[in-house]
């Protein structure tokens, strides 16, 4: 009997490559390109098989573990995620433990990864899966908290064996170089077009193809500087490479400038305890911080009662905002009741302080 079960990360057989029902708008003009890309697919799969990095989320994969990895990897480098991912899964091995955990515990386990909304979304998504089961379609995956088009594609391809491309800046860089395509990649229509194009050549090995593209973008067709074309399985097909113009692509729209905010940060110490407070609004809401005040320009710290032990400055860059901080380490005689006072050990164990304050946390822990 022929089994209808499909291993994780594999699509069921589909007949013909141009019958996916997609409406790639340049389908006639692009016929050559589709065929070229079709030839490139097995080359990438073979290359990925030989060269893939040994990453923890590539072992014993379930939908839940893939979800944890993909949400952690949104806006965070692979190296930073590796250790956090393992520790997080030790604490919350399945969606059940994560769904039932207090939010503060989840935020603590997320500490250091930044962009804490992702941690809250991950918990919400785990609650949904725990309640309703694992989704089976791209639409079902996309409806989970924190999952956009890219992550829905990644999870569908990697954990469900669906032919659903995941197109992010890395994949756009690879494809615009491959086709020497000068489209402005920030335009959502360009992303949509490349998604349709990829869909038409998607192989049965959906997980390996999806991760193969990610891997190529991470270790060969790299951003910022010359790509390592001599190591690329596509160097005989890539138009930008054949023309010696790799670094002309991708073409990007001009970036908006980040808003600069100035903060005075106070690390207040009293009898072996430190003052912290919970942020109640805006950026980093719900996380813990050292008392601070925002100023409209760089100024010296306002006088706080106590003995000044040290001072330093630090900069933290968020997506749209840059914090320029001036920190003062101060020993006080009295504990201001406006704050929660905790020992270094308690802060380390129970209170998530975002990495924006890392330079000042070093005075404490
Ligand atoms: N970036 C996003 N998802 C990834 C994955 N599954 N492997 C490596 N890098 C990634």
In tens, the pLDDT along 50-69 reads 999 999 999 999 999 999 99
24 in a domain, yes or no?
no
What pLDDT is recorded for position 256? 86
What pLDDT is recorded for position 282? 83
Q: Are residues 270 and 124 in the same domain?
A: no
DSSP of 70-123, one letter per residue? HHHHTTS-HHHHHHHHHHHHHHS-SHHHHHHS-HHHHHHHHTTS--THHHHHHH
What pLDDT is recorded for position 33? 80
For the CA of 66, the closest atom of ligand 1 is 6
CA pair distance 326, 178, nearest whole angstrom: 46
44 in a domain, yes or no?
no
What pLDDT is recorded for position 22? 42
Please report which helix (H) or strand (E) contains residue 208, including its range.
Answer: helix 206-219
By residue range, what is the domain housing residue 356? 259-361
Distance 159 CA to ligand 1 centre (A): 12
Q: Are residues 89 and 203 in the same domain?
A: yes
Residue carrying the six token digits 């106590």: 306
* C-alpha separations of 175 from 136, 154, 170, 194 in Å: 28, 17, 9, 8
* Cβ within 8 Å of residue 45, ≥6 positions away: 203, 205, 208, 209, 212
What pLDDT is recorded for position 303? 56
Please report which helix (H) or strand (E) contains residue 313, including its range.
Answer: strand 307-317
**β-strand pairing of 273-278 with 340-342:** antiparallel
Does residue 70 have its Cβ closer than 6 Å to ligand 1? yes
Q: End of a domain among 203, 222, 248?
A: 248
Q: Are residues 211 and 338 in the same domain?
A: no
On the question of a cis peptide bond just before residue 250, with omega within 30 degrees of 0, the verdict is yes
Q: Are residues 102 and 224 in the same domain?
A: yes
124 in a domain, yes or no?
yes
What pLDDT is recorded for position 1? 36
pLDDT, tens digit (0-9, with 9 covering 90-100), for 127-171: 999 999 999 999 999 999 999 999 999 999 999 999 999 999 999
Which residue minimizes the CA distance to atom 9 of ligand 1? 214
Which residue minimizes the CA distance to atom 1 of ligand 1? 73
Q: Residue 64 sits in a domain of what CATH number?
A: 1.10.340.30
Residue carrying the six token digits 């170089």: 177
CA pair distance 272, 284, nearest whole angstrom: 26
Which long-range contacts does 49-55 make (Cβ < 8 Å, 24+ apart)? 49/208, 51/215, 51/219, 52/211, 52/212, 52/215, 53/78, 53/215, 53/219, 55/82
Distance 364 CA to ligand 1 centre (A): 34
What pLDDT is recorded for position 319? 87
The token pair that represents 276 in the structure block: 């912290």
Q: Which residues of the chain have pLDDT under 50?
A: 1-6, 12-29
Distance 195 CA to ligand 1 centre (A): 17
What pLDDT is recorded for position 295? 83
What pLDDT is recorded for position 2? 36
User: How many separate domains does the chain show?
Assistant: 2
């Amino acid at each position: 009997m022929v089994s209808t079960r499909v291993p994780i990360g594999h699509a069921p057989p589909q007949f013909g490559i141009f019958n996916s029902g997609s409406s790639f708008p340049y389908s006639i003009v692009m016929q050559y390109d589709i065929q070229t890309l079709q030839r490139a697919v097995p080359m990438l799969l073979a290359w990925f098989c030989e060269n893939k990095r040994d990453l923890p989320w590539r072992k014993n994969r379930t939908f839940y573990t893939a979800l944890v990895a993909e949400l952690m990897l949104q806006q965070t480098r692979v190296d930073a995620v590796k250790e956090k991912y393992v520790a997080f899964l030790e604490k919350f091995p399945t969606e059940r433990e994560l769904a039932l955990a207090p939010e503060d515990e989840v935020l603590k386990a997320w500490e250091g990864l930044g962009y804490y909304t992702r941690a809250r979304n991950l918990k919400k998504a785990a609650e949904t899966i725990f309640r309703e089961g694992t989704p089976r379609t791209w639409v079902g995956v996309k409806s989970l908290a924190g999952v956009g088009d890219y992550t829905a594609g990644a999870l569908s391809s990697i954990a469900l064996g669906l032919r659903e491309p995941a197109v992010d800046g890395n994949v756009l860089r690879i494809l615009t170089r491959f086709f020497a395509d000068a489209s402005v990649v920030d335009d959502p229509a360009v992303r949509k077009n490349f998604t349709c194009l990829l869909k038409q050549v998607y192989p049965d090995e959906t997980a390996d193809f999806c991760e193969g593209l990610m891997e190529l973008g991470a270790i060969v067709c790299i951003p910022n500087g010359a790509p390592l074309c001599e190591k690329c399985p596509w160097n005989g097909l890539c138009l930008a490479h054949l023309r010696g113009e790799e670094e002309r692509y991708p073409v990007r729209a001009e970036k908006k400038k980040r808003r600069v905010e100035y903060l005075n940060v106070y690390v207040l110490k009293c009898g072996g305890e430190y003052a912290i407070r919970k942020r109640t609004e805006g950026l980093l809401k719900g996380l813990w911080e050292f008392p601070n005040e925002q100023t409209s320009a760089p100024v010296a710290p306002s006088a706080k009662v106590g003995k000044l032990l040290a001072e330093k400055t630090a900069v933290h860059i968020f997506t749209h905002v840059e914090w320029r901080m001036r920190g003062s380490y101060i020993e006080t005689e009295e504990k201001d009741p406006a704050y929660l006072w905790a020992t270094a050990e308690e802060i380390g164990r129970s209170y998530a302080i975002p990495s924006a304050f890392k330079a000042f946390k070093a005075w404490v822990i």
